Amino acid sequence: MRGVNEVVWDGDAEEVTIYTSGEVSRTSRHLADVAAGVKVEVVKSYRSVAELEHIVRQFTDEFGQFADGTRLGGWHPSHDGSQIHLEVADEAFKSRDTKIPAEVDGVVIDVKFGIEYEPALRVDNTTGVAGGALMQGQGSACTTGFPIGRSDGAVGNLSADHCGSGMGNDWTWGTSTHLVGVTSGQAYTGPSSSTDLEMYVLGDSSAAYIGWGSHVSWGYLPINGYFAAAVGYDICYSGAFSGSVCLNEVTTTNQFVCYGLSLPCYTVTRTEQASGSPAVGNGDSGGPAGLVTTRPSDGRTGFYGTGIISGMTNASSTCAGEPSSATRECSDIALFAPVEKFINNNVVWFVGYLP
């Protein structure tokens, strides 16, 4: 329903209260049809969430910073849209001349201090860089892919080409300074069409494991091996922002995409999620695509890799894991760069797995 600010369930009274900035009578009529037998109260909100966000943006920028550089931890409105509760981590902010009004257009504003938020992502700062968790560099966030190694003992990570640009730029593990690797340029450019793979080389460590589970509750699976996907296969994705999502059917292995942004065009594999649920989103780029299954030789359950998350189409604000934002959309139609293009055409670096 349009205009709904918040839905509140009272378990004791077994009653639902819906706060809406739209027409109360129209919302009530709609609920009479779809929520028969449920006790529902519809309350008119003073302002919509969009209007309240516009008020907050009058004194912070899009990144949540005040003019003096202090960071806004977060904010939330009252159920009825009549108040805005700002949350600031820095206690010293109390004594500054912030010029935050106590009221704007009839909306009361208060500030709470000592409150700070951090993203609910797959973050691991311990040594041993594995796949499927957060990596950061060049002002962006992506997901680690597959471990790579070289005969002289050098290690790194095979992830998405479009995440890192240029040569020699550092990408770090989680929120630490532990080095995933430095950008080395596109990992595969021919003889057939290029694809969205890049080696992040000369990292501090590497581990043949994949992060598996939701974006907040997860563990590691060993990498058992690699395979080339075919049309009709069901593929799983494991992104730092979305978590693990399976039942993504391969519809073509020869999808040609051009993302723009001064990036080359890539040949990728396209999948569609069986139930139409979001499979990948912004921030998942570079993460592993593959299957979880049991290895016949020893019965060990693990991950078989087939590609690196590249992109999506038909994106919307419906997301799994981390919610959508101004910089995050998600889709049930996903694209991955096939790892066999790297394996079959690279004689210096190799992808890692647990034998």
Give pLDDT tens digits along the chain (355 positions).
566 777 677 767 778 788 888 887 776 776 666 555 678 888 888 898 888 878 887 887 655 677 777 767 667 778 888 988 887 767 766 666 667 788 999 999 988 877 655 444 567 888 899 999 999 999 999 999 999 999 999 999 999 999 998 899 999 999 999 999 999 988 876 655 689 999 999 999 999 999 999 998 899 999 999 998 888 889 999 999 999 999 999 988 878 787 877 787 788 898 999 999 999 999 999 999 999 999 989 999 999 999 999 999 889 999 999 988 888 999 999 999 999 999 988 889 999 999 9
Q: Give SS3 for 124.
A: coil
How confident is the model at residue 34, as a pLDDT? 59
Q: Give the strands of the sheet with 39-44, arranged side by side.
A: 4-10, 15-20, 39-44
Residues 6+ apart with CB under 8 A from 76: 84, 85, 87
b/e map 26-44, b = 16+ CB within 10 Å: ebeeebeeeeeeeebebbe
d(CA 35, CA 130): 47
**Contact of 245 with 279, CB cutoff 8 Å:** yes
pLDDT digits 0-9 by tens, 300-313: 999 999 999 999 98
How confident is the model at residue 312, as a pLDDT? 93
How confident is the model at residue 13, as a pLDDT? 76
**Contact of 90 with 71, CB cutoff 8 Å:** yes
Looking at the whole model, is its pTM more than 0.85? no
How confident is the model at residue 188, as a pLDDT? 72
Residues 6+ apart with CB under 8 A from 17: 7, 8, 10, 40, 41, 42, 43, 79
How confident is the model at residue 118, as a pLDDT? 45
**Contact of 315 with 293, CB cutoff 8 Å:** no
How confident is the model at residue 119, as a pLDDT? 45
Tokens standing for residue 19? 């706060």
How confident is the model at residue 89, as a pLDDT? 67
DSSP 22: S
